[in-house]
Amino acid sequence: MRHSDELPLDPEVLAELEAIDATLAGRIVDPVHSELAELTIMLAADRPPVPDEVARRLDARLASALAPAARRPRPARRRRIVFGSAMGGSLAAAAAAVAAVAVLSSGPAGPAGTTINRPLAANGTTARSLASTPAAHAPATGVTAGPTSAAGSSGARSAAGPAAGPGAEAGAGAGAGASSGSAPPALDLGVAAPTAPAPVPNGRKVIQSAQLQLAAANDRVATVAEEVFTVVGQVNGIVQSSSVTSASANGGYATFALSIPSGNLQQAMTLLSNLRYATVASRTDATQDVNNRYNADVRALQDARALRTALLKQLATAYTEAEIQSLYARIHDAEASISSDEATLHGLEHQIGFSSLSVQINGGPVYEAPPATGSSTGSGGFTLGRAAHDALRVLTVAAGGVLIGLAALAPVALLLALIGWFAYAIRRRRREHALDAA
Amino acid sequence: MAPIAPVAAGDQGTAWGRFEALYRASRDDVYAYVMTLLRDAAAAEDVTALAFERAFRRRRTFDRHRGEERAWLFGIARNAALDELRRRRRVAALVVEPEAAAVEEPVEEDDIILRRTAVRAALQTLSARDRELLALKFHAGLSNAELAKALGVSESNAGTILHRTVQKLRKAVNAPF
């Protein structure tokens, strides 16, 4: 059959078909086709007539079956409207649910683990930014204040990536190095988290250091770097080295090696954590107790000075040239020792007095909300910027939900279409089979 | 629809008015086609009514770009008739259907009567599929394009099949008893 679809009809066949049509239309045909015309007339005349009674019954049946439906004003359209209303209501309810989920999940500090940036306010926003993610939190082990270790102790609080919360302190004991805290339960989003723990000022000598990784939009890396310089100036710190790389594509990068007066370290960390165009990707606070080492250095210096004084006294009473020369040599050694001890002690005091702070800014496609106008108190007030941000987030979540729904429905729709096609093919085959078997 | 009155001018454009016009123009053709196919007056009446009901309910699925209304209607009628054939196959063993009521025929000349009898006898030798094709063409009066649409084949294919069937019938009519 398919083959004959593509072939033109034979002229003779075509002529006979036209003769049939002409006969049925009542036209005169070529005498060559008279037999065919007669057969056509016979067949047409043999058409089963519709008895009047049957015709009346058919009219009545269809009138009773269809007229009420026909009298209804556009039933299908009304059904469509009703269906549309139901669909609209369902969609509205779904949209409301999505919006509610999005708003609730974003909250004042954004959802946990999200990479969406939000300008951080100046005050208390360290806690906010930290609280926006599951914060690392472990009980302090007395590292920074614990005087139990003879050789000093060290601790580190680390909160990396999404877990940018107050770090865990760990690593008590001699020689313990900095270690990262384990993932803790999330902080209460509604309560401002405390700032990063600082050593308790109990008179012990402690070296502090910190590392801060910030994430910023690629075109904001230079701006954030400028802000870092400003913060360093505010806390009387020193920029020991810096490197700022701006790039049009992803690749903006900046590093800073800072020396911050230890008393201002927490303030510096707070300010750096709240830069307008950056978010904290990770933060590490480390402490090392050097009290014993400091005391030992002090004692060594005192001993060297005492030795030098004693040697000077001996020199005053020396008579022989050899004795004098020997004392000079020992005094020289003592003074060298004093100088060395003083340098060591001075270096240690500098380490104690000035904390090293490493800041790294990584550029990337980070969303930036419009900067807050006016004072950036920023902990939950309604602003147009925040409303726009929330609205955008709702739309984003809704679009994501729709996409996920479509992705889930696509195979189902394909399957249903296949089933429908198979059902249609089977039904058609059965009908044709019924005709063949009749 | 009991009074199948001429369609009023105001109803011409409405769905009901158009459907009524289609019903009036096609009722007898559909019945003749179904009757030829089923050979049962009662079943033909039921199937004809069913076909028009389905057509009315599915009138929004009709696409004028895909063919004329009559071809679309006969496609529906054909499906209804084939469904009836399937149903009859299932119940054939249980129910013996009565013969269709004899139709009064006008008095004709002997020669014509003989010729008509020969044609009817020849029709009985054809398969149901061939009889259906002849019914669509000669009883329902479908054009070759409408025939193709109703059967789901191309127009040239429909012409070829029709010609082949007519040739079969001619041979059967001219065959010696």
Range with the lowest mean pLDDT among A192-201, A249-258, B115-124?
A192-201
Which tokens in the block code for residue A298? Answer: 């002090």
Mean pLDDT of A374-399: 77
Cβ contact (<8 Å) for B56 and A70? Answer: yes
0.85 surpassed by complex ipTM: no
Q: Which of residues 66-125 of A touch B (CB under 8 A)?
A: 66-67, 69-70, 76
Nearest by CB to residue A59, choosing from B4, B129, B173, is B4
Nearest chain A Cα distance for residue B144, angstroms: 9
Two structure tokens written together for B168 = 């079969």
| Judgement on whether residues A96 and A178 belong to the same structural domain of the protein | no
The answer to whether position A68 is within a domain reads no
Higher pLDDT, A38 or A9: A38
DSSP conformational letter for B142 = -
Q: What is the Cα Rg of chain A in Å?
A: 45
**Residue in chain A lying closest to B34 (CA):** A48
Q: How many domains does chain A have?
A: 3
User: What's the CA gap between B55 and B61, in Å, rounded?
Assistant: 9
Shortest distance between the Cα of B20 and any Cα of chain A, in A, equals 10
Domain identity same for A19 and A133: no
Residue in B27, B28, B120 nearest the CB of A46: B120
Q: Average pLDDT for consecutive 10-residue bins of chain B (177 residues)?
A: 45 69 87 85 89 85 73 88 81 46 58 80 84 86 85 86 89 74
Q: What are phi and psi for residue A159, nearest 5 degrees?
A: -140, 105
The answer to whether residues A316 and A239 belong to one domain is yes
Q: For chain B, report the end-to-end CA distance as a whole number of angstroms.
A: 48
The whole-angstrom separation of Cα A394 and Cα A385 is 14
Taking the CA of residue B156 and the nearest CA in chain A, the distance in Å comes to: 6
A432:B83 CB<8 A: no
Hey, what CATH class is B9-174 in?
Answer: mainly alpha
Nearest to B86 among A46, A67, A431 (CB): A431
Please, which contacts does A63-66 make with residues 24 or more away whose CB atoms are closer than 8 Å?
A: A63/B1, A63/B2, A64/B1, A64/B2, A65/B49, A65/B53, A66/B1, A66/B19, A66/B52, A66/B53, A66/B56
Helix ranges restricted to H, chain B: 15-38, 41-57, 69-91, 110-125, 128-134, 144-151, 155-174
Residue A430 belongs to a domain: yes
The verdict on A6 and A103 lying in the same domain is: no
Which residues 6+ apart lie within 8 Å of B58 measured at CB?
B76
User: For the segment A151-183, what is each residue's pLDDT rounded down to a tens digit?
Assistant: 344 444 444 444 333 333 333 333 333 333 333
Whether A235 and A319 map to the same domain: the answer is: yes
Q: Where are the domains of chain B?
A: 9-174
Where is average pLDDT lowest: A127-141, A314-328, A331-345, A399-413? Answer: A127-141
Please report whether residue A59 resides in a domain: no
Q: What does the block give as tokens for B34?
A: 């179904």
Please tell me the least confidently modeled range out of A129-133, A295-299, B124-128: A129-133
Task: Indicate the pLDDT class of residue A88, thresholds 50, 70 and 90.
Answer: low
Is residue A270 domain-shared with residue A348, that is, in the same domain? yes
Query: Which of B70, B75, B72 lies closest to B24, judged by CA?
Result: B70
> Does A39 contact B119 at a Cβ distance shorter than 8 Å?
yes
Predicted pLDDT at A409: 93
Check residues A25 and A201 and name the one with the higher pLDDT: A25
Specify whether A84 is located in the same domain as A122: no
Amino acid code (one letter) for B3? P
B129 CA: distance to closest CA in chain A (Å): 6
The pLDDT score that the predictor gives to residue A196 is 59
Within-domain flag for A75: no
Residue A369: per-residue pLDDT: 52
Domain of residue A397, residue span? 80-108+380-438
**Chain A residue nearest residue B87, CA to CA:** A434
Q: Do A1 and B143 touch (CB under 8 A)?
A: no
- Give the count of Cβ contacts less than 8 A between chain A and B: 149
Structure tokens that stand for A307 in this block: 């030795």
- Cβ distance A438 to B1 less than 8 Å, yes or no, reads no
| Greatest CA separation for chain B | 59
By C-alpha distance, the chain B residue nearest A13 is B163
Shared-domain flag, residues A104 and A120? no
B58: contact with A, CB 8 A cutoff: no
**Are the Cβ atoms of B1 and A9 closer than 8 angstroms?**
no
- Interface with chain B: mutation pick from A23, A56, A66, highest number of B CBs within 10 Å: A66
On whether both A303 and A213 belong to a single domain, the answer is yes
Residue A421 — very low, low, confident or very high, per pLDDT cuts 50/70/90? very high
Amino acid at position B126, single letter: L
Q: Is A7 in Cβ contact with B1 (below 8 Å)?
A: no
* pTM of model > 0.90: no
**Alpha-carbon gap, residue A217 to A228, rounded angstroms:** 15
> Based on the domain organization, do A124 and A94 belong to the same domain?
no
**Which of A73, A60, A24, A27 shows the shortest CA–CA distance to A44?**
A24
Partner residue opposite A438 with nearest CB, options B85, B138, B143: B85
Pick from B1, B139, B160: which is nearest to A59 by CB?
B1
Instruction: Among A308, A337, A368, identify where a domain stops.
Output: A368
A187 shares its domain with A306: yes
Q: Is A66 within 8 Å of B1 when comparing Cβ atoms?
A: yes
Shared domain for A326 and A223, answered yes or no, is yes
Binary contact (A434, B85; C-beta < 8 A): yes
A348-383 pLDDT, tens digit per residue, is 998 898 999 999 998 877 555 555 554 444 455 678
Closest-CA distance, A86 to chain B, in angstroms, reads 22
